[in-house]
Amino acid sequence: MLSPIRLVSEAAEFAARRHSGMQRKGRGHEPYINHLAEVANLLSLATAGGDAELVAAGWLHDTIEDTETTHDELAQRFGLRVANLVTEVTEDTSLSKGERRQKQVEDAPKKSAGAKLIKIADKISNVRARIAPEPTKRQRDDLADYIAFAEKVVSGCRGVNAVLDRMFDETVALARSAL
C-alpha cells in the first residue's frame, strides 16, 4: 500500500502522462492537466487534506473516459476505492452530449459521497474555465447553459461537504456576474 503522499503524487504523474498533449476547452486552451490539478486541489481543500484516495481519484477522474486506462489498471496501481470512484464518475461517451448530461442529472443523487464530491469539484472547475474577462455572446450563452446544467447535477450532490457546496455557490455567483 502506498503512503498517502505517494498515492497522490503517483496519481498526479499518471494523470499527467495519460493526458499528455490534451488541451482544455476555455481558458485559452490550457493544458488539460490544469483541470485535473484544480479538481484534486478542491478535493484536498474540502477534506483538509484528510482523504488521499479521494484526492488521487480527483487527479484520475477523467482517465477512463479520455484515455485507454481501465478500471482494473487503476485498481492495481491505486487501489479499489480509487478505481471505483473514477469509474463511478466516468461518463458513457457513446451517448450524445444531451443524453450524457441528462444521465448525470438523474444519477447524481445515487452516487457515493466521494463521487458526489468529485462531481461538485469538477463542476466548479468547469464553470471557472468558462468565465471570460470580456465574453462574446457565444461565451456568455455557453456559460449560462453550463451553469444551468451544473446546478442540476450539483443539486443531487449537495449535503456531503459544506465547503464544496459553498465554493460551488460562490463560483456560480461569480460566473453570473460575468454574464
Q: Which positions are annotated as active-site residues? A: 65-66
d(CA 116, CA 134): 32
Alpha helix ranges (H) inside 47-136: 52-60, 63-66, 71-78, 80-89, 97-107, 113-129
Q: Is 132 exposed, middle or buried (0-12, 13-18, 19+ CB in 10 A)?
A: middle
d(CA 62, CA 39): 11
d(CA 94, CA 18): 20
As given in the structure block, the three cell numbers for residue 88 are 463511478
